[in-house]
Structures are given as C-alpha cells and as structure tokens.
Amino acid sequence: MLYAAVDIGGTSIKYGIINKEGVVLFRYETPTEAHKGGEKLMEKVIHLVETLWHKSGPLVGIGISTAGQVNVQAGSIEFATDTLPGWTGMPVASILEERFQIPVAVENDVNAAALGEAWKGAGEGVKDFLCLTIGTGIGGAIVTNGQIYHGSTGSAGEFGHIRLERNGKACTCGQLGCFEQYASTSALVKEAQLRLKQDGRPTKELDGRQIFEQAKLGQEVFVSLIEDWTGDIALGLASLCHIFNPSLIVLGGGVSKQGAFLSDKLEQKLGNLLMPSFRKNLKIAMATCGNEAGMLGAVSLLVK
C-alpha cells in the first residue's frame, strides 16, 4: 500500500511516496512558486501527485502537509498568510479526492511534523508531548493521546506568540514581546548582528549554524549570545510546561542539528524555572525525521 505525500512550504514543496510502514521510498523537491497564486499552486499539487502515481503505480491515499491554518475535517485552508497568496479558502481535499478518487488528509505543517515525529521519530511511543519548530518564527503542536489537539478553531499551538515582554519587540502578528521575537533562529541572528556591530565586527552572511560553531569554539560574544538565547527559549518553555505538564518536548527546525549541545543547556535552564513536580521525567529531544517529518505526519493520518 503506497501513499503520496506532499509538504507545501512558502519556498519549496517536498513530495514523495511512503508505504504503510512509514518508509519514505523516494522524495523530491521543487520550488513552490507561491507568487503565482493559490489556483496555480493547487494545479501544481495535482501535477505532482499525477507524477508520483505514474512513477509508483496506484496509490491508496494522499497526505498533504501545508503552511497555514487548516480545517482538518473539511481538508481546506482556513487561513494562509501572504507567504502563500490566494491559498486561504482552498478546498484542497475535495479537489484531490474528486480528481484521484482516493482518501486525502490535510494538516498544518507543524502539526504534521509532530505527527511524523510521533510515528517514526523522537516522539515514537510517547502519547503526550509538545513539539516546537524553531526557525524564522516558532511553530508549535500539541500531541495528546497520540493525536493533535487543534483547539476550537483549529489554531491551537501558536507557541511563538506567547508574550514574554509586555512592551517588548514588535511581532509580525501585531503584538509586542512575542516569544518568537526573542527565541527564534532569526531573532538569534538579529541579536548576533547587533552585538557584533556594537563591537565593530563584520556581520556579513552570519547565520545560525555559524553562531553555534563560534560558540562551541569558545568565542566569548557567541557564548554569551547562546546563553541569553537559550534562557529566552527556556522561559517560554516553562510556561508551556506549567500548562501541559509534558514528559517530552521535541525541538525541530534547523536547531535540531545541534543535538545535546542545545538540549543539555535547555534542560538545565528549564529545570531552574519549573516547580519540582514538573521536572520529573521531563526530557528535551531533538527531532529526528528532518525534512521528511511533515510528509510522514500527513500520511500517518491515513495509515492509522
């Protein structure tokens, strides 16, 4: 039994074939070309599924992971930002089901990534955990009893918009002091550029990977930067822990490549911010499914 998987991001689309055991048989990537609008994007998704069908033979389902807020029951896009213009309101599932006559599951990309980690990654065998993706912003997902908690309007898990500061940095959501303005990878890079500029040092082409490399080499400005940044991450995680009391927090995005260097720091800092009963059995793990997490999660909705 083979499934098509399509993971739609603002920059690229990852797509491939996954079997019922959760093995990614092959995977491709192509530019999203989001600027062409929602109708063209939907046409592209249909074309990609047709390509997969011709390559693999008959498929039994299609799993779609996509940026934006998703009405899971209807398989439609409740809201998408200008990252995917014209995507809001798109009835993805009904279009694909009519075209291919097989079941279709549609899920938000961060939720799908969490389900992928639950099926074949860091959350395997854990029924209740939190998942955060740390990148340009901070995305979140709540897994409870092996399923995503969606909230009353399907938008639960916007962890990036926990407010850390009442009159803090301006956020893209229109509020001030949001978690992602301090604890995302883009926030880390901005702060690094600011500190280096103050020291009269070059900041050209600085990225998160380079910051971590310099911190591991003991470069003082970067060591201090990582200490402050992980402190901000821990502050947001402490609020989540006191609400959800998880046994596991899975961190995805580019930071997952930092492994124990990051998770050990966070576990220590977080432990100092939690009431004793919330520290018991709490682990922070790095996501292990990488770029295949969203594809796996979308397909898991059809297999299980």
Do both 156 and 180 map to the same domain? yes
Q: Please list the ranges in the chain whose pLDDT falls under 50.
A: none
Do both 85 and 177 map to the same domain? no
How confident is the model at residue 197, as a pLDDT?
Answer: 87
Q: What is the domain range of residue 221?
A: 125-288
How confident is the model at residue 281, as a pLDDT?
Answer: 86
Taking the C-alpha atoms of residue 293 and residue 291, their distance in angstroms, rounded to an integer, is 6
Do both 284 and 153 map to the same domain? yes
Do both 150 and 47 map to the same domain? no
Convert the pLDDT of each residue in 262-277 to its tens digit: 999 999 999 999 999 9
How confident is the model at residue 83, as a pLDDT?
Answer: 87
Do both 148 and 283 map to the same domain? yes
Convert the pLDDT of each residue in 78-134 to its tens digit: 999 888 999 999 999 999 999 999 999 999 999 999 999 999 999 999 999 999 999
CATH of the domain at 83: 3.30.420.40
Do both 139 and 87 map to the same domain? no
User: Model pTM?
Assistant: 0.91
Do both 31 and 171 map to the same domain? no
How confident is the model at residue 8, as a pLDDT?
Answer: 97
How confident is the model at residue 3, as a pLDDT?
Answer: 98
Do both 193 and 46 map to the same domain? no
| Overall domain count for the chain | 2
